[in-house]
Amino acid sequence: MEKSEAAAVEMGNTSRESKGKAPLLAAAVHHNRAAGGQKRGAAVFDLILRVCAVAAAMAATVTMATTEQTLPFFTQFFQFQASYDDLPTFTFFVIAMAVVTGYLILSVPFSIVCIARPAVIGARLLLIICDTLAVTLATAAGGASAAIVYLAHNGNSDANWLAICQQFNDFCQRASGAVVASFVAVVLLIFLVVISAVALRKH
């Protein structure tokens, strides 16, 4: 009789514990689903920004690489022409932004992996490291080229550097547009780094 009563008491306690754990388990499952949805949403936003960064970096590369102008007048010995490869800074810009563009294109599949499997840490960690390097490279290229564009527009009387944009107006406009596009790519890359950092922090 005592054994049956003890068994009944134990079964009652077990049923109460299971009833108490059920809401906790349901809440945990709901929390995990909500967190997974937030991670997936951040990954989708990452992909959109990454595609926009590809467009900006590619526009900067192509615009600068096709920047040249030949003036309609020339002498017997000279032809007045300006091209991006006349300046080492602009050549570095084209190479650097081409590298950034290539990386961003190759990183798109990894961004898609983060959408399909938001709990994967390895792909997100690789993206944040490479995005940081891409930010550094694009900032260096854009900053150096911005200084040259400024001198082309305004010159420097102390160094006897003349402003050439009055003569090579189309050249300067295309170079300025390429620099602006590079800084747009830099801003988008910074947002990508922030998104990856937040996603890794939630892990």
Domain boundaries, the chain: 40-67+84-202
Number of C-beta neighbours around residue 13 at 10 A: 10
Q: What's the rounded Cα separation, in Å, for the pair 29 and 38?
A: 14
CB 131 within 8 Å of CB 57: no
Q: In percent, how much of the chain has pLDDT > 70?
A: 75
pLDDT grade, residue 191 (50/70/90)? Answer: very high
**What is the pTM for the complete model shown?**
0.76
Residue range 32-52, pLDDT digits in tens: 444 455 677 788 899 999 999
**Is residue 28 scored above 60 in pLDDT?**
no
**106 vs 124, which has greater pLDDT?**
106
* pLDDT > 90 fraction of the chain, expressed in percent and rounded: 44
